Structure formats: structure tokens, C-alpha cells
Amino acid sequence: MSFALSVTAAELEPDTLDPAGVVAGNPEVSTLVLHADDRVERGIWQITPGTVTDTEADEIFTVVAGRATIEIEDGPTLEVGPGDVGVFTAGARTTWTVHETLRKTYQITL
């Protein structure tokens, strides 16, 4: 199915965030899955300010709004903001410090 929608105006659904991964603040996440099958998942994801840890999937993403510092264990530290594109390798362990509510589009290869 083909379609278009406003990423900034899209209504996202609250999603779960593992409390064990919260390092600081009270961040909340929300998601809108646009397409998923046995090969890929595509969607919009948002996180409010705070610091969280995560283990990443094989993903490409584009930041639409907000700012964050993403520290990759044994890797680089990424400063991301609107218009930035990023790539994660599956299994990368990250620490996200979200400075301003961040919204991104993403594609995860399953």
C-alpha cells in the first residue's frame, strides 16, 4: 500500500520503555508502525528528554525533530538533530541522552 503523511503531525501510540534502561529523568516513548512484515519494520518513533540505554537493531533512521547525544559502546558518540541520518548495527549497545523531544523515522531490517 502506498501513502504519504506528515511525520511531524502523525499521532503516535504510547510504547513501553524498560524501566531498567532508564538512567536519568522520566523519558516516555511512542511509536507509529507504518509497515511491518517478516523482512522490515518502518515507522515513526519519539522519545521525550532523559537518558536511556538500549541494544539496537539493524536500523537506518532520520531525525525529524529534537536533539540527542547517542553514545555507542566501543564506538563513536553521535550528536543528532533535525535532518540527520544515522545507522545502527544490530547488537550495538547505546546510551541516549535526549536533550529535546526527539522524533525520527526509521527502518529496521529484521
The highest-level CATH class for domain 13-109 is: mainly beta
Distances (CA, A) of 10 to 40, 61, 68, 76: 20, 17, 21, 31
Tell me which DSSP letter residue 21 carries. Answer: G
Please give the chain's pLDDT, 110 residues, in tens.
899 999 999 999 999 999 999 999 999 999 999 999 999 999 999 999 999 999 999 999 999 999 999 999 999 999 999 999 999 999 999 999 999 999 999 999 99
Domain ranges of the chain: 13-109
